[in-house]
Structure 1
Amino acid sequence: MCTYNGGRFLTEQLESIQQQDYSDWDLYISDDGSTDSTLEIIKAFQARSGKERVVLLSGPGRGFARNFMSLTCDQDVNADFYAWSDQDDIWAADKLSAALAWLNQIPKNTPALYSSRTTLVDESGNHTGLTSRYSGSFGFSNALVENVAAGNTMVFNRAARELLKSASQHGNVVAHDWWAYLLVTGVGGSFYYDTTPHIFYRQHAMNSIGAAIGLKSALVRIHKLFQGRLSRWIDQNIAGLDAIEHRLTETNREVLQRFKSARARNLPGRVIGIWRSGIYRQTFMGNVGLLVAAIFKGV
């Protein structure tokens, strides 16, 4: 878990972890310099649960993605499976057991990443809807242009953690969850999207990244597209992938090279090249947006 001034909702999240029906867990918390009640809440929970089971660390103070990656790559954190937790959600009692039911089917030496749909709740915990139920295929060609997996739902095995450790030393990542989706699918690992929600994803004004649903969210994404933000994020992801390209499957190396080549062309070669590269988003409108982005060099 990574925290930063999350005292308002933190107690509910910690209690939901305490109440998991899978009880063999340890909790590592990296706090990024909170000045509210966060540390007091954590220390009280630590006193009840034991300092060996709940470990409090200091984060790098460079944003949520750096905090999560720093904690994930910490040599002192060792387990068979790892789950990322935000500070303001609520886990259903079967959140961990549902993930482990799938992960335990995957060979230990295969990087495996579980994610799920979520139930949206407001600041008071009232249900307001569900995140998207993706029906398209998942894979590297999707991950290059879209992150379908929310980090607060992710659980992964030791092989995926070792992959993250080795591949994340080459530079900054845009978002820890997007990077995990790219890496695991890129090397030919196993990825699973559970359409049954197992967490309550709290939406409030202080979310680092909120749920990508609804008209407002779509307008925000379009605005970012024309600001060139998506293109810069993809540049950053590709720079990271270039450093570990030798670990990608042969097919995914070819997809990456076609995509990079297409992005460097002028119209209409860029649009045709990106379309032929094999990349895609999960929805029809998402792919229309991808086409528009290619036209305006927004991808």
Structure 2
Amino acid sequence: MPPSIPHVAILMGTYNGEAYLSEQLDSIEGQQHAHWTLHVSDDSPLPGTRRLLEAYQRRWGEQRLKIYPGKQQGFAANFMSLVRNSAIQGDYYAFADQDDRWHPEKLTRAVERLAAYPPSQPQLYTARAQLVDEQGTPTGYSTLQARPPGFNNALVQNIASGNTMVFNQAARECLQRSPHGEDTGLHDWWCYLLISGCGGRVVYDSTPCIDYRQHASNLIGMQRGVKSLLTRFKHLWQGGHRMQIDRNLTALADHRDWLEPQHQASFDRYRRSRHGNPWQRLQGLMKARVYRQTWQGNLAMRVAALLNKG
């Protein structure tokens, strides 16, 4: 392989995924950027997924597709085990879900965008997705992010969907140095939070790069419309969003000294804003200058602060 062409290590977690896995594997095989190796951590208790992977491995060769036993500790641990596996090497690393379909130019777009910046700086690429139903029929698009990605956004919202993520070696080393990611529950939010906080560059691509399949078995779906608002309000009222942010902040506190000075200040102000009376919480939130991507999201964040639910 010519050394000038970046090699991408694709990191896929699987769990009883044989229903849609062939479509995803075929879409990876069809990438315009052909210099990749697929590494799969399989958590499946049933043999169907492993048999399917082994069939592709026989066709592609063991140097093209490598299979590892999963940790049996949930999807975040499954993906993070691949990030931590020192036997896996590449210039860039791409997360892949088992039931999506990649557009042919997905890796090309990500590598070209990231290659424009110094490799010594941690870099994270994320993109918009086209939504499809169980049969693969397009149903719409994920939300177009209007504001730039960054740490002050990552503190309160995850816009970096793991199934679109590509990151460089410097970002991977940052993730490897931390013992966290599995314990936060959402590995992609942790990647966005830690990499942006440590002075990394986050690149958002408004052009959809994958077909994100929505079905009943999705661990985390992307609901839209009134149903989405009701689900999010219920999650907020029951305290789920607050608990998730608590997990993120607890993990990040171990690495406060890794953060850029301005991000340390934002982190400290935001943590303080989660205590005190309603007015103190709201005032502290404004001083922290954290933001969500939409006015509705920012309004909900302020209401949650008043109610001590955010």
Q: TM-score range by the shorter chain?
A: over 0.9
Alignment partner of 1:56: what SS?
A: strand
Separation of aligned partners in 2, 1:140 and 1:171 = 20
Match of 1:19 among 30, 41, 45: 30
Post-superposition CA distance 1:216-273 (Å, at most 9, x none)? 1221111111111111111110111111111100000000100111112122111111
TM-score of the aligned structures, taking structure 1 as reference length = 0.97
Deviation at 1:298, TM superposition (A): 1.2
What is the aligned residue count? 299
Match of 1:223 among 234, 238, 260: 234
Separation of aligned partners in 1, 2:181 and 2:23 = 36
Deviation at 1:171, TM superposition (A): 6.6
Match of 1:260 among 246, 265, 271: 271
Separation of aligned partners in 2, 1:234 and 1:267 = 18
Deviation at 1:173, TM superposition (A): 2.0
Match of 1:190 among 197, 201, 207: 201
Contact residue 119 and residue 130 of structure 1 kept, 8 A: yes
Q: Which shifted more, 50-59 or 282-291? A: 50-59
Alignment-mate amino acid for residue 95 of structure 1: K
Cα 1:152/1:69, change in 2 over 3 Å = same
TM-score of the aligned structures, taking structure 2 as reference length = 0.94
Separation of aligned partners in 1, 2:182 and 2:32 = 37
Q: Among the aligned pairs, what percent are the same residue?
A: 42
Separation of aligned partners in 2, 1:7 and 1:33 = 10
Quote the RMSD (CA, aligned, Å). Answer: 1.2
Alignment partner of 2:203: what SS?
A: strand
Deviation at 1:12, TM superposition (A): 0.3
Query: In structure 2, what is the equivalent of residue 133 of structure 1?
Result: 144
Query: In structure 1, what is the equivalent of residue 183 of structure 2?
Result: 172
Query: In structure 2, what is the equivalent of residue 282 of structure 1?
Result: 293
Match of 2:94 among 66, 72, 83: 83
Asked if residue 124 in structure 1 is aligned to residue 124 in structure 2, the reply is no
Unaligned runs of 5+ in 1: none
Post-superposition CA distance 1:65-87 (Å, at most 9, x none)? 11111111111111110000000
Segments of 4+ moved more than 4 angstroms: none
Query: In structure 1, what is the equivalent of residue 3 of structure 2?
Result: none
Alignment-mate amino acid for residue 65 of structure 1: A
Deviation at 1:36, TM superposition (A): 5.1
Contact residue 80 and residue 182 of structure 2 kept, 8 A: no
Query: In structure 2, what is the equivalent of residue 100 of structure 1?
Result: 111
Query: In structure 2, what is the equivalent of residue 246 of structure 1?
Result: 257
Contact residue 128 and residue 206 of structure 2 kept, 8 A: yes
